[in-house]
């Protein structure tokens, strides 16, 4: 199966959001990745519900919402209401992750668990069968444009082994520092979805860049 691409709107020109979303609509992207940062779980603040709603109003691609917020249970329903198709929460931000995953499914959304670079994939061994997507962070969350962490390849292989051993159907999404240099190796290691922010939006032709990522 060809790899799926989720451009991160965090790297878009927020003053021209509609134009940027329309560009993504006409691209080969599979999702629009929406990064929500609360200034607490991560040092940065990005944007919240009204901006996500505005993105959804113009988007024809499903929204893949990545919540980098503490106690995300408080906002699951609200993000579902403004159009989240997939909701990813951080393992490190949830006390009762199983309950949170159930709540996401109850809202009719696909569930994602995001893992910080320091978190071992084994922490997912008892829950992997219930999770639709693991969003593996290949940078420390909080900012776009950071350098890819090389240990990610080994982590993908370990996660792939865990998914197979449990007979799960979980997809592996890689988030942070993705570019055309590392994308083929990420795919080879077992990635299903690649998030790319600055590499797409800072390129001369984002449509071509998405196409190139898609065809690795």
Q: Which residues lie near ligand DX5 (CB under 6 A)? A: 8, 10-11, 33, 35, 66, 139, 141-146, 175-178, 195-199
- 126 Cβ neighbours under 8 A, 6+ residues apart: none
Tell me the residue nearest to ligand DX5 as measured from the CB.
197
- Contact segment (CB under 5 A) with Zn ion among 16-24, 32-40, 79-87, 177-185 equals 32-40
Near Zn ion by CB under 5 A: residue from 4, 6, 21, 35: 35
Return the sign of the alpha-carbon dihedral for residues 190, 195, 197, 202.
positive
- What residues act catalytically? 35, 175
Q: Which is nearer to ligand DX5, 48 or 145 (CB)?
A: 145
The b/e string for 57-96 (b: 16+ C-beta within 10 A; e otherwise) is eebebbbbbbbbbeebeebbeebbebbbbbbbbbbbbbee
Tell me the residue nearest to Zn ion as measured from the CB.
66
Q: Which is nearer to ligand DX5, 83 or 142 (CB)?
A: 142
Do the annotations mark residue 176 as ligand-binding? yes
Q: Which is nearer to ligand DX5, 11 or 59 (CB)?
A: 11
Q: Which is nearer to ligand DX5, 32 or 163 (CB)?
A: 32
Calpha distance 187→193 (Å, rounded):
8
φ, ψ of residue 144 in degrees (nearest 5) = -80, 170
Calpha distance 68→65 (Å, rounded):
10
Q: Is 64 in the site for Zn ion (CB under 5 A)?
A: no
Do the annotations mark residue 75 as ligand-binding? no
Q: Is 175 in the site for Zn ion (CB under 5 A)?
A: yes
Q: Which two tokens stand for residue 125?
A: 């061994």
Question: Which residues make up each annotated binding site for a divalent metal cation?
Answer: 33, 35, 66, 175
């Amino acid at each position: 199966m060809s790899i799926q691409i989720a451009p991160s709107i965090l790297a878009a020109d927020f003053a021209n959001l509609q134009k940027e979303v329309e560009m993504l609509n006409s691209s080969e992207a599979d999702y629009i990745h929406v990064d929500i940062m609360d200034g607490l779980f991560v040092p940065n603040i990005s944007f919240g519900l009204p901006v996500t709603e505005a993105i959804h109003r113009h988007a024809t691609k499903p929204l893949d919402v990545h919540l980098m917020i503490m106690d995300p249970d408080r906002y699951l329903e609200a993000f579902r209401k403004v159009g989240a198709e997939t909701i990813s929460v951080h393992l490190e931000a949830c006390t009762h992750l199983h309950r949170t995953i159930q709540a996401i499914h109850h809202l009719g959304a696909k569930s994602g668990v995001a893992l910080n670079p320091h978190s071992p994939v084994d922490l997912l061994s008892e829950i992997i069968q219930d999770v639709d997507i693991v969003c593996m962070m290949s940078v420390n969350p909080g900012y776009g444009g950071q350098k890819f962490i090389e240990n990610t390849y080994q982590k993908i292989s370990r996660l792939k082994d865990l998914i197979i051993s449990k007979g799960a159907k979980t997809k592996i999404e890689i988030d942070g520092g993705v570019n055309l240099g590392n994308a083929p190796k990420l795919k080879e290691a077992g990635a299903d979805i690649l998030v790319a922010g600055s590499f797409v939006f800072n390129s001369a032709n984002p449509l071509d860049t998405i196409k190139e990522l898609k065809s690795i």
